[in-house]
Amino acid sequence: MNCRHCNTPLEHVFLDLGFAPPSNAYLSAADLRAPEQYFPLKLFVCDQCWLVQTEDYSRSDELFTKDYAYFSSVSTTWLAHARSYVDMITTRLGLNAYSFVIEVASNDGYLLKNFVASGVSCLGVEPTDSTAAVAEAAGIPVAREFFGQDFAGKLVKSGRQADLIIGNNVYAHVPDINDFTAGMKTALKPGGTITLEFPHLMSLMRLNQFDTVYHEHYSYLSLQSVKVIFARAGLRVCDVEQIPTHGGSLRVYGCHADDARADGAAVARIRAEEIASGLQDLATYERFQREADKVKNQLLAFLIEANLAGKTVAAYGAAAKGNTLMNYGGVKPDLVSFVCDAAASKQGKFMPGSHIPILAPKELRERKPDYVVILPWNIADEVVKSNECVREWGGKFVVAVPALRIF
């Protein structure tokens, strides 16, 4: 296998989580009687451009299917983040009724609905029918396609280029990152701006967030790797912000390479921080497997001890990161009896691999588990606040990443 960006042969394993099914391939009761497809879940690091990437086995059309079950609007925290971003970027760029905004991977319209409400013309690009239909029902125009150079060329032929291209938590999800980036270059007006948000590789490594590794994430990105990828496409990172979403993300601002804007001071500062953290040192990557195993083993020890003591354990949030954690640990319903999730699209289904049943949140009050493991640790505060009832019967919450915490 070669690097998806620079084509360098990949020799250095960063993380090996064995075999697992796609993390968003939730199962029906009928599916439990059929074979389940597993893929290797292994990451490599390129020692030339420092892009971290999954081993090639699965295709995007096998992962992002028409019944894709992730709906962004389920999280109130994420909705608030989207509103805040739209307010900020509208003011920063002076967007108005004459502007045109594209969001790639627009999901169920969680973000673009704010532009629609303010009268800014926009278009969502979303290949999954289930989420695109929800956005269209809310009056948001959606192109049901995968974004890339071909789609961008169609836009240009129709006389449309964007003042702003948004990609929130999509850049890591594209198998051909060079084609995707070239598409942004083509679709961007002269003087236009790109903003991409993605989990920062530095945060993943510092905070042991190995559960954010899954097949739908083809790439794990640093500022350095994004700068290199942008440069090849004729783009430039002109500014960057560190934001708290998903356990520590970057929001990069991109523009055409010949744009007159000077680079913000944060670009050099964060690059220096990455270098100081060892992101261009192979030894840093080689140490990470031990840290991931430590988290897995701590969780398993807790679950086994609780089971032997006759305690009941449930989980909250049938998130992709939870599926990675459950499958790497080999956790089954004997250790975690059920998981609650607010998304109606997941309720009544089963977690891939572990086959833990997914129920509505009201089941916590009905079943009164002794412990609730919060799988989407990035929204732990939101989960605790909406499920304070657990305290009524003496139940406790548990978070496994970056280290086991019972509270």
Provide the CATH number for the domain around residue 122.
3.40.50.150
CB within 8 Å of 190: residues ≥ 6 apart: 256
User: In this structure, are 187 and 303 located in the same domain?
Assistant: no
Of 278, 296, 329, the residue at which a domain comes to its end is 278
Residue 67 domain flag: no
Residue 59 lies in a domain: no
Q: pLDDT tens digits, residue range 72-131?
A: 777 888 899 999 999 999 999 999 999 999 999 999 999 999 999 999 999 999 999 989
Whether residue 58 is predicted with pLDDT greater than 60 in this model: the reply is no
- Domain total of the chain: 2
Residue 22 belongs to a domain: no
Q: How far apart (Å, rounded) are the C-alpha atoms in residues 131 and 195?
A: 22
Average pLDDT on 373-396 reads 96
Q: Given pLDDT bands bounded at 50, 70 and 90, which one contains residue 173?
A: very high
What DSSP state is assigned to residue 363?
A: H
pLDDT in tens, 260-315: 999 999 999 999 999 999 999 999 999 999 999 999 999 999 999 999 999 999 99
134 pLDDT band, cuts 50/70/90, is: very high
Does residue 303 sit in the same domain as residue 346? yes
pLDDT value, residue 70: 64
> Do residues 329 and 263 both lie within one domain?
no
Kindly give the pairing relationship between strand 100-104 and strand 121-125: parallel
Listed residue (208, 246, 206, 252) closest to 227, CA to CA: 252
Helix (H, G, I), strand (E, B) or coil at 32: helix
- pLDDT of 332 strictly over 60: yes
- Do 273 and 341 have their domain in common? no
Pair (321, 262) in one structural domain: no
Tell me if 208 is assigned to some domain: yes
Work out the average pLDDT over 232-242: 98
As a whole-number percent, the residues of the chain with pLDDT over 90 amount to 92
pLDDT of residue 237: 98
pLDDT value of position 151: 97
If asked whether residues 156 and 235 sit together in one domain, one would say: yes
274 and 299 belong to one structural domain: no
Distance between CA 256 and CA 30 in Å, rounded? 50
Picking from 215, 249, 278, the residue at the C-terminal end of a domain is 278
**What CATH number should be reported for the domain holding residue 365?**
3.40.50.720
Burial of 307 (0-12, 13-18, 19+ CB in 10 A): middle
- Is 242 in the same domain as 129? yes
Residue among 113, 114, 106, 110 nearest 87 (CA): 114
Choosing from 278, 305, 329, the residue where a domain stops is 278
Reported pTM = 0.89
Does one domain contain both 208 and 189?
A: yes
21 belongs to a structural domain: no
Say yes or no: 292 and 251 in one domain: no
Range of the structural domain that residue 80 is part of? 72-278
3-state SS assignment for residue 157: helix
Report the chain's mean pLDDT, rounded to a whole number. 95
Inter-residue contact 350 to 328 (CB < 8 Å): no
Q: Which two tokens stand for residue 299?
A: 């969780």
Check pLDDT > 60 for residue 67: no
What are 202-234's pLDDT values in tens digits?
A: 999 999 999 999 998 999 999 999 999 999 999
pLDDT of residue 72: 75
Residue type, 269: R
- Give me the pLDDT at residue 75, please: 80
CA-to-CA distance for 335 and 332, rounded, in angstroms?
A: 6
Q: Are both 385 and 343 inside the same structural domain?
A: yes
DSSP assigned state of 158 = T
Verify that 330 and 270 share a domain, yes or no.
Answer: no
